[in-house]
Structure 1
């Protein structure tokens, strides 16, 4: 690493061991973070789908509807958190790149 390269910027785009991106190359930690958020949101969406299928199957009790409402609120919160964290880190990486 030369003296002109910001070590924090290099760390941001450096590869994570044993992590692969979609193109088969090593993934950066930012890419791994985005992938983790995606998997988490997919899991919550699957949970909501299962609850919706139960509702369509006749489970229209207030407790089940309340559970679905809570799941939807959780999904909204998680989606907003994913967006905010990815956007904040992306902005920070952009700022570091400009200061090079």
Structure 2
């Protein structure tokens, strides 16, 4: 597969991923939860931000429960699981941002 095909495949993969995160594709601008973005890349970034904010809120809620004395094993396990999910999501957000940025840079150099 040539570099151009790899770059195109990466862009299609991440556009599909951005759509799965709630980025609507319409005209040249996407939107995430009602807010407009200047590009699909910005919309993808906002979608990741909103997704990570939501996960952080879940972790905060469980942490507050533990802090309030509800430190049963079931709550502790749920907090651990949600924290690990946050780590996974954060790593994927960073990886996708880097990969798309590099693909766009490569495409920009070829034009």
TM-score, length-scaled by structure 1: 0.77
Q: Does 1:15 align with 2:28?
A: yes
Choose 1 or 2 for highest CA Rg: 1
Q: Does 1:64 align with 2:80?
A: no
CA distance in 1, matches of 2:98, 2:52: 16
Divergent runs of 4+, >4 A = none
Q: Which consecutive unaligned segments of at least 5 residues does structure 1 have? A: 1-7, 22-26
TM-score, length-scaled by structure 2: 0.70
CA distance in 2, matches of 1:73, 1:86: 20
- Given that 2:48 and 2:93 are in contact with CA atoms closer than 8 Å, whether structure 1 keeps it comes out as yes
2:87 is matched with 76
Q: Which consecutive unaligned segments of at least 5 residues does structure 2 have? A: 1-7, 9-14, 16-26
Higher relative contact order (CA 8 A, sep 6+): 1
Question: Could you say what the CA RMSD is over the residues aligned between the two structures, in angstroms?
Answer: 2.0
